[in-house]
Structure 1
Amino acid sequence: AFELNHPDAMQGVVGLVNIGHEVTNVNILEDGIPVLTRDLSVGTRRFREDLQREKGLASEEAERVIQGTSQHPDLAGYVSARGEEIALGVERAAAFLATASRNAGGLSRVYTTGGGARIPGLNDVLGARLKVPIELANPVQRLRVKDDVFETVPVDEVAPLLMLAVGLALRRAA
Structure 2
Amino acid sequence: MVFGFGMPSVLGIDIGTTSIKIVELQQEKGRIKLKNYGEYIPPSSKRELLPVESGFVSFFEEGIATIIKEIIREAKIKTKDLVLSLPVFSSFFTLIELPLMEPKEIPAAIRFQAYQYIPVPIEEVVLNWVIIEEREALLENKIQVLLVAVPKDIIEKYIKIAKILGCNLKSLEIESFAEARALAREGGPILIVNIGGRTTNITIVDNDFVRLCHNLDVSSFDLTNALSKRMNISFERAEEIRKTKGLLKETDTLVTPILVPVIDKIIFGVEEGINAYLSKNPQKKIQKIILSGGVANMPGLTDYFTSRLAIKVERANPFSEILYPPVLHETLEAIGPSFSVAVGLALREFLEKK
* TM-score between both structures, scaled by the size of structure 1: 0.85
1:161 maps to 338
2:281 maps to 101
Measured in 1, the distance between the counterparts of 2:268 and 2:200 equals 12
Residue 87 (1) aligns with residue 264 (2): no
Match of 1:114 among 281, 285, 293: 293
Shift of 1:142: 1.9
More strand per residue? 2
Match of 2:258 among 71, 74, 78: 78
* TM-score between both structures, scaled by the size of structure 2: 0.44
Matches of residues 37-52 of structure 1 in structure 2 within 5 Å?
37-52=213-228
% identical aligned pairs: 24
1:28 maps to 204
Secondary structure of 1:15 counterpart: strand
Measured in 1, the distance between the counterparts of 2:288 and 2:267 equals 13
Q: Which has the higher contact order (CA 8 A, sep 6+)?
A: 1
Give the conservation status (yes or no) of the 8 Å contact 1:79–1:122.
no
Alpha-carbon RMSD across the aligned residues, in angstroms, is: 2.3
Larger Rg: 2
- 1:3-58 per-residue CA deviation (whole Å, 9 max, x = no partner) reads 46653xx2231101111011110001122311000011111000000001110121
* Stretches (4+) displaced over 4 A: 1-6, 69-72
Give the conservation status (yes or no) of the 8 Å contact 1:83–1:125.
no
- 1:98-128 per-residue CA deviation (whole Å, 9 max, x = no partner) reads 112354x122210011011112222222111
- The amino acid of 1:92's aligned partner reads E
Secondary structure of 1:29 counterpart: strand
- 1:58-106 per-residue CA deviation (whole Å, 9 max, x = no partner) reads 1111111122279643222233222211111111111011112354x12
Gaps of at least 5 residues in structure 2 are 1-178
